């Protein structure tokens, strides 16, 4: 049941479980993943899911959970969080499509999401290609809170043509 006290993580679990009843798969991406991995040091109000299923089925499943659709967003009267299903496929920078490598347990079931390493790369993609320093900070937050594969991130950064910006990330990560 969704209440005003439902956390972002639990809401993700509730939505995934509700979608599963309609045979819909979805992966949590974006800022919500940063919130989960940073233990809410970064607070997102949006939950973005990428799903291979058709939008009409998703709308039906979301409405069954009590969500109301307004434009591209889904709202629920009991929570401040909004849900969106951006168009897939799931990708990070030029790596498209990618397979999500993260999974977390919630009271309501498992949630598939980006792994900490993929989450860092996802945030760095915005820093590399849109110079977004908020996302640099978020990448650092996640990499400080969870073990990440820096060698994989470095190789991916090279493919993205962002060796110098990867170095900025590393220096920020090392800084106190």
Q: Which residues, 14 to 33, sit near another protein by CB under 8 A?
A: none
Site stretch for another protein (CB under 8 A), options 14-22, 34-42, 88-96, 128-136: 128-136
Site stretch for another protein (CB under 8 A), options 93-101, 105-113, 127-135, 144-152: 127-135
Q: Which is nearer to another protein, 98 or 173 (CB)?
A: 173
Other CB atoms within a 10 A radius of the CB of residue 9 amount to: 22
For position 158 contacting another protein by CB under 8 A, the verdict is no
Q: Which residues, 133 to 152, sit near another protein by CB under 8 A?
A: 133-135, 137
Token duo for residue 86: 């951006």
For position 132 contacting another protein by CB under 8 A, the verdict is yes
Q: In angstroms, what is the minimal distance from the CB of 131 to another protein?
A: 4
Terminal C-alpha separation, the chain: 41
What is the residue-wise DSSP string for 139-157? HHHHHHHS---HHHHHHHH
Site stretch for another protein (CB under 8 A), options 36-44, 58-66, 96-104, 165-173: 165-173
Q: Which residues, 61 to 100, sit near another protein by CB under 8 A?
A: 71-73, 82
For position 172 contacting another protein by CB under 8 A, the verdict is yes
Reported in sequence order, the residue ranges of the chain that DSSP labels E, i.e. its strands, are 27-29, 46-50, 68-70, 73-75, 82-84, 102-106, 109-113
Total chain residues near another protein (CB under 8 A): 18
Other CB atoms within a 10 A radius of the CB of residue 57 amount to: 14
Q: Is 109 helix (H, G, I), strand (E, B) or coil?
A: strand
């Amino acid at each position: 049941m969704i209440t005003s006290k439902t956390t972002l993580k639990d809401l993700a679990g509730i939505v995934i479980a509700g979608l599963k009843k309609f045979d819909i798969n979805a992966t949590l991406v974006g800022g919500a993943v940063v919130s989960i991995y940073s233990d809410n040091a970064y607070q997102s109000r949006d939950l973005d899911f990428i799903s291979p299923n058709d939008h009409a089925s998703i709308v039906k499943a979301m409405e069954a959970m009590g969500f109301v659709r307004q434009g591209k967003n889904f709202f629920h009267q009991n929570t401040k969080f909004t849900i969106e299903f951006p168009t897939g496929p799931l990708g990070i920078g030029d790596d498209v499509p990618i397979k999500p490598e993260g999974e977390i347990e919630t009271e309501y079931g498992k949630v598939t999401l980006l792994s900490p390493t993929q989450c860092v790369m996802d945030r760095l993609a915005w820093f590399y290609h849109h110079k977004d320093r908020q996302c640099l900070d978020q990448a650092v937050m996640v990499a400080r809170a969870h073990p990440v594969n820096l060698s994989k991130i470095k190789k991916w950064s090279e493919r993205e043509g962002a060796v110098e910006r990867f170095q900025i990330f590393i220096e920020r990560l090392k800084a106190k």
